[in-house]
Structure 1
């Protein structure tokens, strides 16, 4: 029984998608044929000559492409000036007279040698480097653990602070999570690039190996090198891990700092606060201003901006559209105003609802649940 199984597995079947055993071989096309498929093969390529021999007397050789200009001819040469395959009749014609004709077999040999070298480099060197880079990306877990520690530390500090400062810690959590998401997204994107490139290289290696096995001139001649692309392994992104700095002076002051965000709680009497506020000028307040982030709004010119929390803002240009963008510049919401040209001004109320003025229609409007409602209509002659 074992002998019969082995014999069945060793049977070579017809190359024309036929399950019958091969009996004949076309030396011209390098395909095995059963008795029933010989005529089918010859009729399918009427313009070509076919050297049909018993399979045991087959000759392994290159399969040259059919000449498009001369029937019954195969292109065994390549015209360097015209960069096209040519047959012997083409060489004798006036079209290629005096041109440098190179033996197609020499071209294929040279190309196969190049494919072999590139495949060996990809398989033996570049793939291993790519895998090493991928295995080195262990910063994701470290980054995740670090930010988890920051959030826990922030929550521990919150217990020492008065309930009136919850807004500070809400801001801290949002900023920490945004920083974490940004760093982890960058690392995962890099890891995805590595794995995608590695998968592509493995596929290319398999395809190249099939080409190296092939005797089909067109397969080899159409080979396109990806070696330069694969040599450029992406660089690991520079990930910086922020630290949470805290300071506690019992009964006097509480403070924390994360990157550019700072918060401080100091005990003071109402009278001292009033005196301090009266002595602070607008110029002194402006000295404290800092650039937190730059957002690409893709609006030219940018006309109005209204912050909606710490990570979003409503903006508009010189058209009817109002857009809500996040800190990455992504449009998360949009509203088409009732204005003839563009809103005169925009703001956001305590509930986070968008409000805009329509000067031409003399109205102040609010956007609630995606619908525009009129809050105020001014008398004739007055424009908001």
Structure 2
């Protein structure tokens, strides 16, 4: 038979257009041949009208057997052999005729409804946002390409002005030199004229026989014996400095590191109909402690915490071991510092690599796989606290060797990008020395707690002052002493504050306005903070070395 033009024939007598079909044997039959077909007793047969072809349920395990029952637990048709084999013992089995096609289609209808009303619209919504992102990308590209070109033109103008000034200075120096030489030339010319006159006068006297003329001669040679000084001219010259790309980049500016952050939408089945953005997470009235573990770091204090994942936390203390804990308190990894010194602080990069500062060794180090590599070695400065930014940079609080200066330095890899030390009026932003903690807000503000100055100092990405938080209108007795600091997905700022009675967490909005306290965590002083990907607060009590995860928003 060939494709669509072939006609259906009875399997036994080849009569065309037979009205019947055996679903078990998958053959066509005419009415006369049905009886002959049933003579094959090696298997069951189910002959139906051709319009009902395929309506018979065939057992998927015992092929060629008809399914007369339906197992409710397994949700499949079964045959008598399945029952006799005891495979569905204790299961509810119903006559398959009761299980109508409409009943079997119910889950299909539910799937169709979910696909059409929930899954498909959400995918469409996500897809519709991509052209907007592309348009924003194009607009951003045009904006910053134009800014780069304008900056380049400005620098070119400044360079042209500098070149013009250099040329003008050079010509002025040439002119001064020429004036000096011309003046000396005029003086020598006048002297030569006097010498010529003296020669002529003396020749007249020598050629005269008049005693009176000869006796009145007065020598002028002494006047001319002292020769004029030889003017040594040091000609102006230009020494070009070798162009260094890194130095030029420091003057020109930097591009931030390109980053791609995936914000998971989650399982549609587990999400509410009105999906809420992480930016909609509200503060809850009664924060609660999700987990509480003890981090073992010898006899000293706990110095830093950093979330690797929502279930794994790096810690460091006053020993030379960095430890990765699970939320159950088990130690998953241990890394020894390169120098053997205790670390000052730790942070986790976007790639999940651990970074730590070594105050004594003046280094900033990174852990790649199981190896510790020195990323930066400072000169005349010592690194204290560190954090990783959303763009992949490192922000480091550093102290000068003499302890009289403190600043924040931004690094791209091992290259210094920016130094933040003074405000617009030239005054130091941070007090020298003392305890400080640092983090970057979601809006890219740089937030530093300055315990010595009793303030939280916040500057924007360019290092310009945004605000300084120095507690509420009625400061606590004993002063305001901020220590650890963290931020969340809503750009809220959380800082652990000691007020001589107990430690509590101050929550501020992105503009420094006080929102509320978290004061039921039983903390000691000082305390270090970080947040995980779900906006849970990780609080590490320095002295007791208890690490607690606190839910404060929903």
Structure 1 length normalisation: TM-score?
0.36
- The structure that is strand-richer by fraction is 2
- The structure that is helix-richer by fraction is 1
Structure 2 length normalisation: TM-score?
0.27
